Every structure is written in structure tokens, then in C-alpha cells.
Homo-oligomer: A and B are copies of this chain.
Amino acid sequence: MHLNQFWKSGKKALAGDKVTAQKPGAAMRIPNVYEKDCPTRLVLDHIADKWTALILWKLVDGPLRFNQIRRIVEGISQKMLSQTLKQLERDGLVSRRAFATVPVTVEYSITPLGHSLAEKMAAVSLWAQDNIDSVLSAQAKYDAGVDEIA
């Protein structure tokens, strides 16, 4: 059974409520990120994230170990890396595999689901790189204008 088809029932349905049978593929509710209790909102909060974008996109090129990622994604702390990877694994976007080497090595690789998201997030990273000039000059103009008024 797909809980997610009835995502609002967990809150609204009373114990004993019968959920009418669904045709396969016919979702009961259309997921909508603009609804505050929709699970897509939580997922959007995980994935629309700096570290997620950076990590995921590097894993597209092939599996990487914990410390490899840490070196590539400059400025990420061990804590945030560990936390983000755990989140990504839970969401089914990356898979974790430990090898009984000495010392233990752990390999993170991207799943097909993660790959489809990585492409979308990469577009955002690329946008930032392509449009940094425009953004920085907009910021400069805005800051100058604020000074004028003040």
C-alpha cells in the first residue's frame, strides 16, 4: 500500500475510517508544494539546499568516499556532510556502501532517482555561475540606493 497516495489522511482521517480503493496510479491527492501540510513541502526543503545541490552533482560523475566529497565541496563541515548524506540516503537519492578495508571506506553513489534530481539542481548551480555578474551588480545598485535614502 502506498501511504503517500493518502497523505492527508494521516491527519484528517479518524481511526476506523475506510479509505476507498484506488485505481492503480490514480493518486487521491495531487501533491502541491504550495500547501503547507503537503509532504512535498518537506522534501522541497531538503532538496532545495546548497549542500544537496553540490554533493549530488559531483556524484553524477561516479561514486565518492566521505572525505573525497569533503575535499571537493569546499567549506562543508564533517557534521553537515554526514547529516546531508544521511538525509540523501533516507530520501533514496544516494546509496551508501561500506567496505571492510583498513581503515573502513564508505562509498556514496547516486541512485537513478537522485540522478534525475541532480540534473535539476545542477541547472540552478549553473544559473548562479552564469548570472553571478548580473546578481552582483544588482546588489551593488540596491545597496547604493538604500544608502541614498538613509
Contacts and interface: CB of A to CB of B under 8 A. Distances in A.
Interface of A: 2-5, 7, 27, 30-36, 39-41, 43-45, 47-50, 52-54, 58, 72-75, 89-93, 113, 116-117, 120-121, 123-125, 127-129, 131-143
21 contacts: A2-B137, A4-B132, A4-B136, A5-B133, A7-B132, A31-B128, A33-B125, A34-B58, A36-B74, A36-B75, A40-B125, A41-B75, A44-B50, A90-B143, A91-B138, A92-B142, A116-B131, A117-B124, A117-B127, A117-B131, A120-B127
Contacts of A72: 34
A74 B41 CA distance: 10
Contacts of A116: 127, 131
B44 A124 contact: yes
Contacts of A113: 131, 134-135, 138
A133 B2 contact: yes
B128 A92 contact: no
Contacts of A74: 34-36
Given A113-B131, A127-B120, A142-B89, A45 B36 contact: no
Contacts of A2: 133, 137
Contact of A50 (B41, B120, B129): B41
A99 to B, nearest CB: 18
Contacts of A142: 89-90, 92
